[in-house]
């Protein structure tokens, strides 16, 4: 009976350790996935910034005229105005996308910090030692990895208040 209990206790301990290792690996993997997403967001941001700079350059009046130089029209002012409005709309669209990416980046950075903290917290967890009652049932056998010094228990203090003497019944 004792051997069966020891085996069950050992299996429970191994499952607990395996679950803790899996949870830590999962937390680290989650942080890695978030970092990969953050890299993607940063790449997209730099791409949008580059596109915004190009549009700013295209918005200059001389560049608008140059882009429409080969287009014949009786109303070139309208064509230039149309081209300028088109570039302004595109620039505004890029600005909205960049704002969304900035918010996404902030959320990802916060999530990475939380995942790193969770990973650290899980790595810092101490394997609990069995209670004295459990150790007595197992014959004091504990795996070498979970042996920790036990805290000394303080003796119970007796009340310093004096009791009233009991009255005798007559």
pLDDT in tens, 47-72: 999 999 999 999 999 998 888 877 77
Q: Token pair for residue 125?
A: 């967890």
Residue 11, pLDDT score: 64
Banded model confidence at residue 27, pLDDT cuts 50, 70, 90: confident
Where are the domains positioned within the chain? Answer: 2-125
How much is the pLDDT for 147?
47
The pLDDT tens digits for 99-153 are 999 999 999 999 999 988 888 888 777 555 555 555 555 555 555 444 455 555 6
Nearest CA among 80, 47, 78, 87 for reference residue 62: 80
| pLDDT at position 5 over 70 | no
- Please give the share of the chain, as a percent, with pLDDT higher than 70: 62
């Amino acid at each position: 009976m004792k051997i069966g209990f020891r085996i069950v206790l050992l299996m429970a301990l191994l499952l607990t350790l395996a679950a803790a290792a899996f949870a830590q690996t999962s937390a680290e993997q989650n942080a890695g996935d978030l970092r990969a997403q953050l890299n993607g967001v940063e790449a997209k941001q730099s791409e949008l910034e580059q596109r915004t700079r190009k549009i700013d350059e295209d918005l200059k009046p001389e560049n608008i005229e140059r882009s429409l130089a080969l287009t014949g029209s009786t109303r070139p002012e309208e064509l230039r105005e149309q081209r300028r409005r088109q570039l302004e709309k595109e620039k505004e669209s890029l600005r909205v996308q960049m704002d969304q990416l900035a918010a996404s980046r902030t959320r990802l950075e916060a999530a990475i910090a939380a995942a790193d903290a969770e990973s650290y917290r899980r790595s810092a967890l101490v394997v609990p030692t069995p209670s004295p009652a459990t150790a007595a049932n197992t014959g004091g056998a504990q795996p070498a990895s979970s042996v920790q010094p036990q805290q000394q228990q303080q003796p119970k203090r007796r009340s310093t208040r004096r009791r009233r003497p009991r009255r005798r019944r007559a």
